[in-house]
């Protein structure tokens, strides 16, 4: 198979999938080597980025995904006749940030940081599959530990948790 056909096959898989495809999944489907897939995907990402079209390809949630160009989100919403996706409330964003940066963390620890009861907010985040129970803490009562999910990475368009802004990044943004 020629290189252009390999790229086309990978592009087709991304289009059909609708969710991030891991290197392992792409290797299983194509029989190509990891380095070849990575090189081809890097080329596809660059191709889509350079043409500034309505669709982009990126590394999201530990895989590769095709997604709508954020610069054109308004047009996508008009086309679908949809209302903007339901946003997270400020308490939900605050709780989610605490969990993302401090995971694994118990609900009591989240509440100590926030200073308020977080039962409803944590339930909402669990229902939206942005956080999950990742185990139990070795402490009296064995409280549940919470962490972020793959859906969290997809929701925020992150490759992995290293894509979260650092405290220094946030301080610079506030100063600007």
Residue 155 CB contacts under 8 Å (≥ 6 apart), including other chains = 130
pTM over 0.75: no
Report how far residue 122's alpha carbon sits from residue 120's, in angstroms, rounded to the nearest whole number: 6
Helices first, then strands: H and E counts in the chain: 9, 5
Domain with CATH 1.10.10.10 in the chain: 3-79, 90-175
Half-sphere exposure (CA, 13 Å, Cβ side) for 95? Answer: 25
Looking at residue 127, its pLDDT comes to: 92
Half-sphere exposure (CA, 13 Å, Cβ side) for 63? Answer: 20
Fold of 90-175: Arc Repressor Mutant, subunit A (1.10.10)
**Mind listing the pLDDT tens digit for each residue in 124-154?**
999 999 999 999 999 899 999 999 999 999 8
Fold of 3-79: Arc Repressor Mutant, subunit A (1.10.10)
**Which 8-state DSSP code applies to residue 20?**
-
**Contact indicator for 116, 148 with CB cutoff of 8 Å:** no
**Mind listing the pLDDT tens digit for each residue in 85-110?**
678 899 999 999 999 999 999 999 99
Q: How confident is the model at residue 42 (pLDDT cuts 50, 70, 90)?
A: very high
- The total number of residues shown for the chain amounts to 176
């Amino acid at each position: 198979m020629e290189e252009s056909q390999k790229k086309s096959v990978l592009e087709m898989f991304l289009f059909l999938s609708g969710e991030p495809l891991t290197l392992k999944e792409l290797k299983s489907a194509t029989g190509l080597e990891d380095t070849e897939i990575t090189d081809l995907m890097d080329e596809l990402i660059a191709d889509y980025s350079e043409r500034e079209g309505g669709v982009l390809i990126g590394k999201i949630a530990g895989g590769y995904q095709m997604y709508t160009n954020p610069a054109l989100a308004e047009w996508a919403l008009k086309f679908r006749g949809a209302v903007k996706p339901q946003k997270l409330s400020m308490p939900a964003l605050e709780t989610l940030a605490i969990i993302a940066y401090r995971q694994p963390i118990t609900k009591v620890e989240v509440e100590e940081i926030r200073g308020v009861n977080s039962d409803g907010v944590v339930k909402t985040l669990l229902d939206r599959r942005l956080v999950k129970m990742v185990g139990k803490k070795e402490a009296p009562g064995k409280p549940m530990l919470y962490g972020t999910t793959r859906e969290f990475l997809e929701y925020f368009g992150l490759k992995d948790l290293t894509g979260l802004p650092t405290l220094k990044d946030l301080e610079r943004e506030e100063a600007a």
